[in-house]
Each structure stands twice: as structure tokens, then as C-alpha cells.
Amino acid sequence: MAFKGKINGSKLDEFILTGFSPEPHIQKLLYVVFLLIYLVTIFANACVIFLVNTNPHLKIPMYYFISNLAFLDISYSSCIAPKTLVDLLSHHKAISYFGCATQLFFYSGLGSTESFLFAVMAYDRYMAICNPLIYQLIMQQRTCVRLVYGAYSGGFLHSLIETCCTFRLSFCASHVLHHFVCDFPPLLKISCMDTTINEIVLFTFSSLVTMSSILVIVASYISIVLAVMKISSTDGRLKAFSTCASHITAVILFYGTVLYVYLRPKSQSSIETGSVASVFYTMVIPMLNPLIYSMRNKDIKLSLQRLLALKKR
């Protein structure tokens, strides 16, 4: 199936991204801020991946999933940040037709995969706290690999369907995207075709991905709360809850912005608020995730301290 793009009867070769403020001094400030965010994202997530894969004490399912989340955050941010940084210093903020489709495919696929991975991580916490006696038996390495593979498969299948549906449209109304990235809502707005079916498909599949993951997370944590409340000692309860605190924080940040961007009513949507929210979950959250897991996780902090101590010798 070939993608097609036309504008005023001629072939569409590129889209123009309006990005952020046209003021040069604001663009330079944003460039510095986004560059720092991107560098911290790469460094922090790379550290998490390195620590998990080199420390024998972290060879357990929870950290295997955390390292996969770190890899996703690097990939997710790298799908958006480099192009955004180039555009902030460029007068001609263009992206090719094929480049837009490619960016949208990976942008959507990686985001959907992260949504499923959060559900997998919640299930892991449920098994560890509610079924500790059979945890090691159930959550073997091959099971963890299959769960991660399932998250990627589901995420990119969703992205493939959405991207193909979107790029079957003709864009004859305009080639200007009022956004800093190729995304579904701004693309649908500039199509000269009836986008009702696309909007229904987008809402349906986005809801399925998001709500199915949220249901797994909510069900897991309801079971966890019920199990923890049965623990007699206060210290035991706090210890059980502490293993979930980082995941809950990351989940709230991620799903809060995703639900705001994709599932809010049209009457409440605007270019400015949509762009700010998109910046938050495409750049800021991938930077915050490793910091959240590092600051609230004793094993990772201890591993980092040991690594720094070895380098000082």
C-alpha cells in the first residue's frame, strides 16, 4: 500500500512545521533548554541501562523492565528532539513527506509500547507482592522477554494501523503543520478529505491501548493494596509500597499527559496547550523517568555509588 499526498492537485513533497514562537531570542532559549533536557535524558537513561546490565544484584525482572523503559525513553526522545533542535535554529522548518510518515510511525509506536510496558511493570509488582512464593517460577527470563516482545508488537501494530490510515488521506488544504512534530491531530486538520473515519479509528485504537493498560495497572494495584493491608507490621507495609512508588509516579506523569492530548474534547483543544503537553511527554518525561527510579530505588542508588567509588580509586 503506497502513501499518497497532494496539495492543490500537485504532489506533496514536504510539510512545514510551525514549531514554537517565531521570535529568534525565544527559539534560542528553547534550543538551550531542549538540548540540556535531551543530553540529560540520554545520559541518565544510559546509566540505568549500564547499571542494570553490569550489576549481578540487579538481574531480576523488575530491573529488566526498568532497563527496557530506559531504552524506550532514549529512543522516544531521539525520535523527536534532534529534529526539533535543528528546526529551532533553522528558518525553513520542513520535513519530507516520507520523513513525516516515518517519524509518526516511530513516535506513535514507541509511545504505545511504553504504555504497554507500564502495564507489564504493574503486573510484575502484582506478582512480586501478591504471589511471592511463585514469583520466581512465573517471572522467568523467557516470560519477561515475551512480555516485552508483546509490548513492542502491540505498540507498533497500533502505530502501523494509525499511520497507514492517516497517510492514505490527501493533504490538499495546506502543507503547514501547526506543531513541532508530525502528529495525528495536526495532520487530520490539514486534510481536504472527510476525516471522520480516521478520527473514530484514532480515538478507538488510542483508547484501547491506553485504557487496556490503565485497567491492568489499576487492577494490579487494587490487588496490591488489598494484599499489603493484610501485613501486620507497619514497616512491612511501607517496604511493600516503596517498591511501587516509582512506578506509580511515572505512570501518573505519562498517562496524565497522554490522556490530556489525545482523549480531550475538541472544544477544549488548542495548538499552544497541545504543543506544551506534547513537549512534556516526548522530552520531559523521558528525562524524569530515570531520575524517578534512581532517587526512589535503593538498589540503583547503591549500584551507582559503588560505580562512582570504583572510579575514584
Question: What is the per-residue pLDDT for 149?
Answer: 96
What average pLDDT does this structure show over 76-96? 89
**Model confidence band, residue 11 (pLDDT cutoffs 50, 70, 90):** low
Asked whether 175 and 214 are in contact (CB, 8 A), the reply is no
What is the pLDDT averaged over residues 127-137? Answer: 89
Domain tally, the chain: 1
19: its cell numbers: 514549531
Q: Is residue 237 part of a domain?
A: yes
Does the structure show a pLDDT above 90 at 37? yes
Q: Is residue 1 part of a domain?
A: no
Asked, for residue 244, whether it belongs to a domain, the answer is yes
- Position with higher pLDDT, 57 vs 42: 42
State pLDDT tens for residues 222-270.
998 888 888 777 777 777 777 788 888 888 888 887 777 665 555 445 5
pLDDT at position 302 is 72
Write down the pTM of the prediction: 0.87
The pLDDT of residue 8: 46
Q: Per-residue confidence at 106, pLDDT binned at 50, 70, 90?
A: very high
pLDDT value at position 310?
Answer: 59
Query: Is 248 inside a domain boundary?
Result: yes
290 within domain boundaries = yes
CATH number at residue 76: 1.20.1070.10
CB-based burial label for 149 (10 Å; 0-12, 13-18, 19+) = exposed
Spatial distance between the Cα atoms of 135 and 129, rounded to a whole number of angstroms: 9
Q: Which domain holds residue 91?
A: 6-312
Closest C-alpha among 13, 28, 33, 175 to residue 87:
28
Question: What are 213-222's pLDDT values in tens digits?
Answer: 999 999 999 9
